[in-house]
Structure 1
């Protein structure tokens, strides 16, 4: 990114190749909308170019990128409130099938449940789980992205995981009856 900032715009293609998939996954887990996630990724890379001068190189690039991504997401949510609606068909289309029908169905049901459960979490809980579990970010990195301290990140992750467990066991009891 330092080279892009200094005028070597060809390096932007390398950054796009390296980070477009993780950004798409972040946005998809937050919005559950494939088309919107693709648009949001493009907006992040646009902002990277627009605000390239703000990257100083003092912190990690990924932290700066996810900070931009959160701003893009927040701006989009303000403009379009439909991100909160979960679309099971959209997820099913993107997951593909397994080799055995029963095994594939079971995995699909687990994924559907996970997506529904994640959708019902508060935004702050969903966001820390996505960053820590799906984006493999360390707690100190997440703290920098969210502008909170590392202890708060740990608490949010712990509470979010506890909430997911409660949802899972509650749904198991309902299914078992």
Structure 2
């Protein structure tokens, strides 16, 4: 995959300090700062994993509600972002179990929503193939898709993803490799079709 990652808020020390204030004093102003900085990334994550903008927004709200209600569980010795990503993934995985699959089968209504969230950078792939890319991503197992989204869309390093998922870094790299293999296999016919169309069109004039 080739996409410029949308990096998460870099203000880690400020987030950690704000979360400590929330944890120790129930500071609503500090919590509002956290929501303001992280609402976009968390909503993007939830939307990309569910392929549904409205569900993504609802799940993002649930994530922040859990952050506040579970504030006593935050470990000040660890980074807030790691804890937040983990909560967000747990919320999405729970939704996946409830719905049996994160992918929505409604091809027509879902395509327009997913085009905005799952499509690679404009110009890298023809518009008529966006749906195929979206479908391939939605077919990945939850654990694989989480790695792809965190790495390719949110720009996390393998080490950071390993901390979020609480698994060895080598396992993260293995899951990424497996995900790319599955994506490559499913998208191979798309590449072949594109080559055939280019050949049929002849050389550029």
* TM-score, normalisation: structure 2: 0.73
1:19–1:111: structure 2 CA closer, same or farther, 3 Å change rule?
Answer: farther
Residues 1:123 and 1:88: Cα distance change in structure 2 (over 3 Å): farther
Correspondence for 1:70 among 89, 93, 108: 89
Shift of 1:54: 1.1
Aligned-partner Cα distance in 1 for 2:33–2:158: 26
Other-structure match for 1:161: 180
SS in 2 for 1:83: coil
For residue 49 of structure 1, the aligned residue among 60, 65, 68 is 68
| Cα root mean square deviation, aligned | 2.4
Which runs of 4 or more aligned residues in structure 1 lie more than 4 Å from their structure 2 counterparts after TM superposition?
Answer: 93-96
Query: Which residue of structure 2 lines up, in the alignment, with residue 99 of structure 1?
Result: none
5+ residue gaps, structure 1, are 97-102
Number of positions where the alignment pairs a residue of Structure 1 with one of Structure 2: 170
Aligned partner of 1:151 in structure 2 is 170
Q: Which residue of 2 aligns with 1:89?
A: 109
TM-superposed deviation, 1:77: 2.6
- The structure-2 alpha-carbon separation of the partners of 1:83 and 1:147, relative to structure 1 and needing over 3 Å to count, comes to same
Structure whose alpha-carbon radius of gyration is higher: 2
Instruction: Give the equivalent residue in structure 1 for 2:137.
Output: 118
Shift of 1:173: 2.5
Q: Does 2:8 match 1:4?
A: no
Q: Pick the structure with more helix per residue.
A: 1
Q: TM-score, normalised by structure 1?
A: 0.84
Question: Any stretches of 5+ residues in structure 2 without a counterpart?
Answer: 1-18, 117-121, 198-205
Question: Which structure ranks higher in relative contact order (CA pairs < 8 Å, sequence separation ≥ 6)?
Answer: 2
Q: Please tell me whether the aligned partners of residues 92 and 108 of structure 1 are also in contact (alpha carbons under 8 angstroms).
A: no
Post-superposition Cα deviations, 1:76-123, rounded to whole Å, max 9, x if no partner, equal: 233333632254534425757xxxxxx88x643343222111011222
Write the deviation string for residues 27-76 of structure 1: whole angstroms up to 9, x where unpaired: 11111011111110001100001111111221111110011112212222
Moved more, 82-91 or 131-140: 82-91
> What is the rounded CA distance, in whole Å, between the counterparts of 1:148 and 1:88 in structure 2?
37
